[in-house]
Amino acid sequence: MRLVVARDAGQLAEIAAELFRDRVRARPELAMAVPAGRTPRRMYRVLQALQATAPVDYSRMRVFSVDELCPPAPPDGYFWRQVRTELLAWAGITAERCCPFAVDAGDLTVMCERYERRIVEAGGLDLVMLGLGPNGHLASNEPPADFGSRTRPVRLLASTVDYILTDEVIQGAVCDSAVTLGVATIMAAREVVVLVSGGGKRDALGRLLDGPITPALPASALRRHPACTILADAEARPG
């Protein structure tokens, strides 16, 4: 596991954006599970701004979701709406190359099984980029996590729902139902990048870096990943 510490959230976004661009340049058909939430928002703004002066061809990427909230969230998903608005709207990636979660499906378990098959059909995920939950959750894998889990429906803890609702972009009801890439699905990716920003993540990051590998901290599974990078700002850095 590699730790990169930025001086602040702005530099973190710049580092994350350059990593994103480097991976697409190296592999134009990159299969990537892209993040949503507060920390990635700055990165997407940097990516869009860089297109004006140093464009990258994103059109051949395959874009997957990390996780998604279920109805009463909108059928197209709060998280996917962010991805669509902040990345897809300007990046030239067609709908045929995107794989959002169909949270309006009649059977979410079957939908998730199909999603897992689509990942396999894509040749596996080259890169999963995601955040770190305040309680150490990874995607929507809450503690205690099943390290052998694949893409599936899950229940969120009340504290996680409350945290989601503090994002001003979320406009509407949120329940405790979600779908998520499983821990084993994330671990099977060729590379994992975790974005960590703010003092509220300091404790979880400290436990991730120095604590035991335990289901009580889902993200601790990443200590066993052969190519995991943690991008954190100084405010999130423990000690």
Q: Is 68 a catalytic residue?
A: no
What are 236's two structure tokens? 């999130």
Q: How far apart are CA 21 and CA 39, in angstroms?
A: 17
User: pLDDT tens for residues 152-183?
Assistant: 999 999 999 999 988 877 878 899 999 999 99
Average per-residue pLDDT for the chain: 96
- The catalytic residue among 67, 68, 86, 191 is 67
CATH code for position 156: 3.40.50.1360
The per-residue pLDDT for 154 is 98
Question: Count of domains in the chain?
Answer: 1
Residue entry with tokens 């897809």:
88
CB 3 within 8 A of CB 206: no
Question: Within a domain: residue 182?
Answer: yes
Question: Within a domain: residue 238?
Answer: no
Spell out where the chain has E strands.
2-6, 31-34, 62-65, 67-69, 98-99, 127-131, 152-155, 177-180, 191-196, 228-233
233 — phi, psi (to 5°)? -90, 170
Q: Is 225 a catalytic residue?
A: no
Q: Is 107 a catalytic residue?
A: no
**Is 0.75 topped by the overall pTM?**
yes
- The catalytic residue among 126, 137, 141, 233 is 137
Question: Within a domain: residue 239?
Answer: no
User: pLDDT tens for residues 78-124?
Assistant: 999 999 999 999 999 999 999 999 999 999 999 999 999 999 999 99
Question: Within a domain: residue 16?
Answer: yes
User: pLDDT tens for residues 40-84?
Assistant: 999 999 999 999 999 999 999 999 999 999 999 998 899 999 999
Amino acid at 37: G
- The catalytic residue among 68, 86, 126, 142 is 142
Q: CA distances (Å), 68 to each of 13, 23, 148, 170, in order?
A: 22, 24, 20, 12
Degrees, nearest 5: CA angle 12-15-16: 85
Q: Which domain holds residue 182?
A: 2-233
The answer to whether the peptide bond before residue 144 is cis (omega within 30 degrees of 0) is yes
CB 169 within 8 A of CB 104: no
- The catalytic residue among 135, 141, 191, 233 is 135
Question: Within a domain: residue 56?
Answer: yes
Sheet holding 152-155, edge to edge: 67-69, 177-180, 152-155
Degrees, nearest 5: CA angle 63-185-196: 70
- Given a cut of 80, is residue 222 above it in pLDDT? yes
